[in-house]
């Protein structure tokens, strides 16, 4: 059996989800890891039985025969690293966000196109059981006309979180609560409801000593006429409280809540569907805010590389959330409504 050979750049907190997901897929193995901090790379290699360890990813690309490289570095580094991987004729997988502005996202997309390699962007929340049910309800037109939607990300990130890594909360490498913590929720709103027409937003750095925002509220108007709000704060006392999406329509209302869209808190429609029974048992308790979505996400990626499937997300899909967040930041900075596309 041909095995997909993977490398990984950046052995920080999110990398564990990548290692765990691939450990459950027999057709793929991580064969090399790279991190500028040797202790991090060595620890990951020892824990997940990865044979090759590097402190320079360029050396990894030169020496290893790889089918895919997963990029788990600080967000602002994703595009340049992805471009280097693409130039080595290796497929690219990047954590969210794929970039912290659309110009950098476009450079990465172009590099992958020119080198004829695939570009995958992790959007694991789409694959959670609760979110799949909600998407199915929308696709079946169970809501009728959708009037309004709301996403709330009420989590906490203490000052110690930002102080632990100098890049966190910076405009160059991270962005703020929207670009980092709420990125998946911005993506989910787009995935569920379609293209955004305009954005109005307020953001603030209210308590954390960082460059970017720790709190914000954005109003989105969709081309379909739907109005949505995305409310974010990293100042919730005393711990992560809610990661939710609510959809209100002509014939139905759903709230997928919990700490990380892991619990169906409201599910009511005018007409019965067999999914109503499934919804009663769809809740789950995730080990962390990332949920279990990396597992099915990597299953799709491996199947694509083996020629058995089409990608669930790609670079152009990943670009959408970057564009919406960039519009949120631009609106907050200028105190103006921003029209899309930028």
What does the pLDDT read at residue 284?
A: 82
Q: What percent of the chain has pLDDT over 70?
A: 98
- Is residue 26 within 8 A of residue 90, CB to CB? The reply is no
Structure tokens at 158: 């203490």
Helix orientation angle between 315-334 and 102-114, rounded to the nearest 10 degrees: 160
Tokens 């990398």 correspond to what residue? 15
pLDDT of residue 280: 84
pTM: 0.96
Question: What pLDDT, on the 0 to 100 scale, is given for residue 285?
Answer: 78
- Give CA–CA dist 324/281, Å, rounded: 33
pLDDT digits (tens, 9 = 90+) for 68-119: 999 999 999 999 999 999 999 999 999 999 999 999 999 999 999 999 999 9
Look at the domain 4-124+294-313 and name its fold: Rossmann fold (3.40.50)
CATH number for region 125-286+321-339:
3.30.360.10
Question: What pLDDT is attached to residue 289?
Answer: 60
Mean pLDDT to the nearest integer, 118-135: 95
Indicate if the pLDDT at residue 4 is higher than 70.
yes
Q: Where in the chain is the domain with CATH 3.30.360.10?
A: 125-286+321-339
Is the pLDDT assigned to residue 290 strictly greater than 70?
A: no
Name the pairing type of β-strands 28-34 and 227-233.
unpaired
What distance in Å separates the CA atoms of residue 148 and residue 43, rounded to the nearest whole number? 46
Half-sphere exposure of 335 (CA within 13 A, CB side): 0
Q: Would you say residue 293 has pLDDT above 90?
A: no
- Angle at which helix 78-87 crosses helix 102-114, to 10 degrees, equals 10
> Which residues of the chain does CATH 3.40.50.720 include?
4-124+294-313
243 and 152 Cβ atoms separated by less than 8 Å = yes
pLDDT at 291: 61
**Residue found under tokens 């890049």:** 167
């Amino acid at each position: 059996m041909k095995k997909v050979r993977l490398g990984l750049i950046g052995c920080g907190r999110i990398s564990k989800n990548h290692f765990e997901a691939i450990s459950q897929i027999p057709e793929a193995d991580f064969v090399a890891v790279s991190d500028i901090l040797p202790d991090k790379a060595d620890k990951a290699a020892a824990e997940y039985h990865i044979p090759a360890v590097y402190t320079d990813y360029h050396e990894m690309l030169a020496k290893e025969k790889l089918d895919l490289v997963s990029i788990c570095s600080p967000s602002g580094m994703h595009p340049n690293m992805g471009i280097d991987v693409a130039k080595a004729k290796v497929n690219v997988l990047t954590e969210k966000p794929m970039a912290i502005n659309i110009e950098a996202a476009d450079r990465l997309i172009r590099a992958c196109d020119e080198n004829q390699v695939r570009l995958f962007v992790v959007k694991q929340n789409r694959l959670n059981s609760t979110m799949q049910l909600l998407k199915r309800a929308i696709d079946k037109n169970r809501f009728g006309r959708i009037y309004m939607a709301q996403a709330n990300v009420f989590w906490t990130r203490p000052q110690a979180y930002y102080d632990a890594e100098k890049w966190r909360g910076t405009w160059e490498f991270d962005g703020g609560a929207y670009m980092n913590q709420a990125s998946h929720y911005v993506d989910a709103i787009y995935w569920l409801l379609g293209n955004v027409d305009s954005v109005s937003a307020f953001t603030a750095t209210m308590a954390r000593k960082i460059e970017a925002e720790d709190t914000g509220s954005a109003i989105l108007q969709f081309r379909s006429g739907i109005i949505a709000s995305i409310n974010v704060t990293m100042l919730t006392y005393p711990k992560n409280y809610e990661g939710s999406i609510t959809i209100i329509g002509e014939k139905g209302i759903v709230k997928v809540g919990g700490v990380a869209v892991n619990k169906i808190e409201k599910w009511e429609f005018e007409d019965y569907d067999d999914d109503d029974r499934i919804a009663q048992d769809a809740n789950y308790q995730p080990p962390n805010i990332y949920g279990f979505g990396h597992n099915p996400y990597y299953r799709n990626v491996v199947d694509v590389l083996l020629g058995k499937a089409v990608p669930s997300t790609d670079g152009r899909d990943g670009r959408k959330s970057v564009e919406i967040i960039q519009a949120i930041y631009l609106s907050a900075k200028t105190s103006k409504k921003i029209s899309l596309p930028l």
